[in-house]
Chain A
Amino acid sequence: MNEKEIKELKRILEFSCEKKDVLVYSFDASEFKGKALGVALPRSVKEVQEIMKYCNKKNIPLTPRGGGTSLTGSSAGFNSIVLDLSKMNKIIRFDKKNKIVIVEPGVILDDLNSYLKKFDLIFPVIPASHKSCEIGGMISTNAAGERAIKYGKMIDWIKNLEVILANGKKINVKENKLRDFVGKEGITGVITRVELKVKEINKTRSMDYEKFRDYDELLKRIEEVKKNKNVSAIEFLNSFCAELMGLEKTNHLIIEYESNNGKIKSIREIQKIWRIREACGPVLTQKDYVIMEDPRIPLKKMKDFLNFLNKNNIPCFGHIGIGILHPRFKLNQKELIKKMFQKVKEIKGDVSGEHGIGVIKKEFLSKKEIINFKKLKEKYDKKNILNRGKII
């Protein structure tokens, strides 16, 4: 970018291309490192529209970003200006009667839930990054979380979106059009306002905590428990993960119910078990298993996949109830990651169940998926301004 362009951008909104900002916005939570040209920090929809019109005219790529917790490189600058929406963080309107909240994209999930707690309500899609992830980013990746088996993904909780297209035009998106923007990692438009459904906090909880040596028995139990409508989470740790966690080296299964169906009723005990499950990520990171993948495996092929992990000594935990697992790898295990994705393809699983594609998983997309993404790009962003180089 030249001096004139920098001046013009600074006239539109808060903009920095200082060395420090360029560097930090070249990263997100993945191992990918891109190259940001600068960072733009809009505070209003008008500023978002203005910068998008400007970049569209000048053919400057823009990378929309929330909390920067993407695990695929989708929110890191990539020869682009990073559009950090964190300063658009207002809760605009709350309708308690109809359980609807309208927010800006930069609202942090935990901040939203702290606000809703006062009314005994909750936004129930809660990924592990809940302390720092922002609503806009959660929509862009169609985030899920530990209780996805009961509460689904982001798309199930969105009523309406306000989106700015690459040419600066503002549109409202509802129902069947939502899929053009939800989970599209910002390649089709920038979300500036969201109407979300919320629900009452469920105060009854119980849990079963079981151990299995045999995969057939484990999978039979999962099939059986999935029939119970009160099940809110089915989580899993394989034997390698359990060993690294200092637990008995076997397969661990955690089943949470929003009812009294489970044997463990003590809230303290339930919280203790959740703490073990939630510590898996950090403990494995400390033990150098820093790369986390998120394949979705059809339950029918799960045994095959678990055997593959076992054979290759891959520690793994995850939301087995919905088929999403988190195998962990060391930085020098890139070849093993490739081998795992080949396996995922072979058993007709998805390379990403909840983290998205970004840069890191591009090579694993099928031709059909690429064609579909390209069609959307052609429809909404012909000049390929938004998140250029990501997904396709």
Chain B
Amino acid sequence: MSKNVKKCVECGICKGNCPVLKSLLIESQSPRGRAILIKNNILNKKIIYNCTLCKACELSCPAKIELPEIIIQARKNLINKGEETKANKKMIENVRKYGNPYGKVGDKIPEEMYCC
């Protein structure tokens, strides 16, 4: 699972690009923080699921560590242990039941919809 995460030298260059860190401003929610935790086999649900998998850290990493791939693998491991988040469980349930992650669609569908 750690793939090439052991190559991380904790330089912190990845921190400048991470949208999650920019919002939460705590080291454990930075790409460097996640790499340190994964290297030490600490799979904290909140940390692993808060990553947006945007790959901004991967682009700036001097050691070319594919952290998003490693995070995806870490999520798989959490699911196998039955430790995924409630929100994730609900989302999967909704996709299976209603074909979308949000759940039952109301009678009236808005004419215009917005996304990020």
Which residues on A are within 8 Å of B, measured CB to CB? Answer: 16, 19-21, 23-25, 27-31, 39, 41, 67-69, 84, 86-87, 89, 106, 108, 110, 129-132, 281-283, 285-286, 290
Contact = CB atoms under 8 A, between A and B. Distances in A.
B26 interface: yes
B47 A20 contact: yes
A120 B42 CA distance: 46
B45 to A, nearest CB: 10
The majority secondary structure among interface residues of chain A is mixed
Given A24-B36, A285-B11, A285-B62, A131 B28 contact: no
Given A67-B15, A129-B12, A129-B13, A87 B25 contact: yes
Contact of B63 (A69, A106, A286): A286
Contacts of A89: 25
Nearest to A109: B16
B16 A108 contact: yes
A286 to B, nearest CB: 6
Nearest to B40: A23
Interface string B41-70: 010100100000000000010111000000
Interface of B: 9-13, 15-17, 25-28, 30, 32-33, 36-37, 40, 42, 44, 47, 60, 62-64
Given A27-B10, A86-B25, 9 more contacts: A20-B37, A20-B47, A29-B11, A31-B9, A68-B32, A129-B13, A132-B15, A282-B62, A290-B9
A128 B62 CA distance: 13
B36 A110 contact: no
Contacts of A28: 10, 12
Given A41-B26, A84-B27, A23 B42 contact: yes
A232 B22 CA distance: 32
Nearest to B60: A131
Given A21-B28, A286-B64, A67 B44 contact: no
Given A281-B62, A282-B62, A21 B26 contact: yes
A131 B17 contact: yes
Closest 8 CB pairs of A and B: A131-B16, A282-B62, A132-B15, A132-B16, A24-B33, A285-B62, A86-B25, A24-B27
Nearest to A41: B26
A275 to B, nearest CB: 14
Given A20-B28, A23-B40, A25-B27, A131 B15 contact: yes
Contacts of B33: 20, 24
A28 B36 CA distance: 11
17 contacts: A16-B26, A20-B37, A23-B36, A27-B10, A29-B9, A29-B12, A31-B9, A39-B27, A41-B26, A67-B12, A69-B11, A87-B25, A110-B16, A132-B13, A283-B62, A285-B9, A286-B62
Contacts of B37: 20, 23-24
A86 B13 CA distance: 16
A121 B60 CA distance: 26
A282 B44 CA distance: 29
A27 B36 contact: yes
A110 B13 CA distance: 12
A292 to B, nearest CB: 9
Nearest to B15: A132
B3 to A, nearest CB: 16
B99 to A, nearest CB: 36
A28 B10 CA distance: 7
Contacts of A108: 16
A29 B28 CA distance: 14
A128 to B, nearest CB: 9
A339 to B, nearest CB: 22
Given A21-B27, A39-B26, A87-B25, A131 B13 contact: yes
Contact of A20 (B9, B17, B42): B42
Contacts of A30: 10
B12 A41 contact: no
